[in-house]
Structure 1
Amino acid sequence: MRSYLFLAAAVAAFTPGAVLAQHDDHSAHAQESQATSQADSEAGPAQAESDHSAHAGEPVAVDPHAGHVASAPAPEGAPPDPHADHDAAAGGQPTEAASLPPIAGPPPEAFSGPEYAADGVFGETAMAIARRTELGAMHGGVKSYRVLVDRLEAQLVDGQDVYLFDAQAWYGGDIDKLWLKAEGHGGFGGAFDGAELQALWSHAIGPWFDLQTGVRLDVGPGEDRVHLVLGVQGLAPYWIELDAAAFLSDEGDVTARIEAEHDMRITQRLILQPRAELEFALQDIPSRAIGSGLNSAAIGARLRYQVTQLFAPYLGIEYEAATGETRDFRRAAGEKVSGLRLLAGVRAWF
């Protein structure tokens, strides 16, 4: 029985399938040995020693730069490639970003021609006029207007209620405008005290201020008077709106006025506006009860609520005092020389 089993095992071992499997196994071992030998020869003695250490059970340090290849420096002007030092594949093929052509600026020949090529066809003078006209029409030739009622208010002064209006309007472009101003006051149920009207040419002398010149006409119960006007109006630092002007009357009297106000936003709609006004005279003007130097000063504040951007009612308080010889003129005429008054009015524009 044992002889039959031994004979069957011998026959199975020498069948063609078993022979082929054994052959394939030997071939695989041979190829692996050949590949290992080739890799050892390419890596050098250090790599071979590392491999032998690993087989021996010793720990092997991992190279953090394994699998990376050094790349050529990027061309001048080209953006840095974050993957420049990484191999795209195991075969070391260049990445797509590394194969892009360098980015360079325009060639020098691009700046060798004239700045305005059309000058050579139509002439420099004609093209300069055309460019100035076209740019002016596109960016600065638009005409616009504005009408502002800065103060339309009732003033309560010791039972003597008076009204006051202060308005201005302009029409024109960015550089030149026609500017109109009107200011007057009177008593409720009483006589009209007087007003002044100004017609000015306003010319921009910078991004923040306009130079204004023109005429002023004083109208009222007394004799009308005409003045020449020279002043500036604009936006001072810290967003202070400033209006300063000097006046030369047809009688040779020289006076001046400075007005300043500033909007302080408490909320998007609630605005506090401090305001100050100073008046000066170069000489005494007895017919108008005005003394030389600083003759009057008014300072106050108005708190307005902006119902819309075009309409805002307000309440306020203001203190006014006459100074110098103007105070003496007013006392002699039986008028108040100083006082505190309550204000209620509206501010509007369109």
Structure 2
Amino acid sequence: MSKFTTIASAVLGVLALPAMAQMDHGDMQMQGGQPPVDARDPHAYSGGFTLDEGPYALPGPRQLKLADEHWFYGVLADRLERVDNGDEQILAYEVEAWAGRDYNRAVIKAEGDIEHGRLTEASTELLWRHALTGFWNSDLGVRYDTGHGPDQGWLAAGVSGLAPYWLELDATAYLGDDGQTALALEAEYELLLTQRWVLQPAIELTAYGSNDVERGQGRGLSNLVAGARLRYEISRQFAPYVGWEWQTALGKRADQLREEDEATQENRWVAGVRFWF
């Protein structure tokens, strides 16, 4: 095609735009509505068989289901580790299990410490999780703590999800059976160094509404935990890791520990495995 022909075609196209703009689109027949009388019968080549009638029809309720109509389940052991704080070694765990569909599911979250073969501190939550958007969920349920002072029950309400730049966030408010209130904030990020080496920094902040010395709770910001774990994914479902964690008491809780001649900060080395199925 010559340069002159190309230029002429472009000019004619521009000149035709006003005429196209004056077209009455109301007269155009769009897709939908009643088919024309001479339309092809969609069952003409099926021998009269359909999904609901004929020898190939399946009995019972509708057989075809979308993905969000199926039940799924999963178990994630995010932390199963040996903790060394310089004075003693502790076995710590953090496990989450869920069952349900895409929009609604039941969730169990459990974490705690085991010393000398005995469970010394534990926290267990039973939640109903509902999908608010494609990346955020609401959590409603109960929590039960044991080990540090008298046992304590809570009502729980929070949100969890994936923020921009792949930052995982979890914020939960609690109302205790004795009128105590609490707020827990967690954030973590997974940095892929390679396809198998993953660095996972995390931070956790806890606040309480009133002082409870017996349970180790101080009014206001009470505890801060920050650390990082480096894991090697032998497979996507199983990965050993090593890491370091720093924990400090804040505000009233730090004052309580000083009065008891206890340390307000602690450095811990950890080693464990992360797996899911």
TM-score (norm 1): 0.61
Pairing 1:150–2:78 present: yes
Q: Aligned letter for 1:159?
A: D
User: Partner of 1:278 in structure 2?
Assistant: 205
The SS at the match of 2:211 is coil
CA distance in 1, matches of 2:86, 2:259: 20
More deviation, 195-204/154-163 = 154-163
CA distance in 2, matches of 1:210, 1:72: 55
User: Partner of 1:166 in structure 2?
Assistant: 94
Q: CA deviation at 1:267?
A: 0.7
Gaps of 5+ in 1: 1-63, 77-106, 116-132
Q: CA deviation at 1:333?
A: 3.2
User: Partner of 1:343 in structure 2?
Assistant: 270
Q: Deviations over 1:299-336 (max 9, x none)?
A: 11100000111110000011110011101222333432
User: Partner of 1:291 in structure 2?
Assistant: 218
Q: Deviations over 1:119-165 (max 9, x none)?
A: xxxxxxxxxxxxxx98x932421211110000111111122211210
Q: Deviations over 1:23-50 (max 9, x none)?
A: xxxxxxxxxxxxxxxxxxxxxxxxxxxx
Q: Aligned letter for 1:271?
A: V
User: Partner of 2:180 in structure 1?
Assistant: 253
Contact 2:121 2:148 in 1 (8 A): yes
Aligned length: 234
Q: Of 243, 250, 254, which residue of structure 2 is paired with 1:327? A: 254
Pairing 1:314–2:234 present: no
Pairing 1:268–2:188 present: no
Contact 2:130 2:137 in 1 (8 A): yes
Pairing 1:305–2:232 present: yes
Tell which structure's C-alpha radius of gyration is larger: 1
| Counterparts in 2 of 1:273 and 1:244: CA distance versus 1, 3 Å | same
User: Partner of 2:123 in structure 1?
Assistant: 196
Q: Deviations over 1:250-276 (max 9, x none)?
A: 001001111111110111000001111
Pairing 1:241–2:168 present: yes
Residue identity over aligned pairs, in percent, reads 36
The SS at the match of 2:217 is coil
Contact 1:192 1:221 in 2 (8 A): no
TM-score (norm 2): 0.77
Gaps of 5+ in 2: 14-26, 36-60
CA distance in 2, matches of 1:276, 1:223: 27
Q: Aligned letter for 1:220?
A: G
The SS at the match of 1:137 is coil
Select the structure with the greater relative contact order (CA < 8 A; seq sep ≥ 6): 2
The SS at the match of 1:244 is strand
| Counterparts in 2 of 1:294 and 1:111: CA distance versus 1, 3 Å | same
Pairing 1:207–2:117 present: no
Point out the structure with the larger strand share.
2
Contact 1:315 1:343 in 2 (8 A): yes
CA RMSD of aligned residues (A): 2.9
Contact 2:148 2:216 in 1 (8 A): no
CA distance in 1, matches of 2:114, 2:9: 88
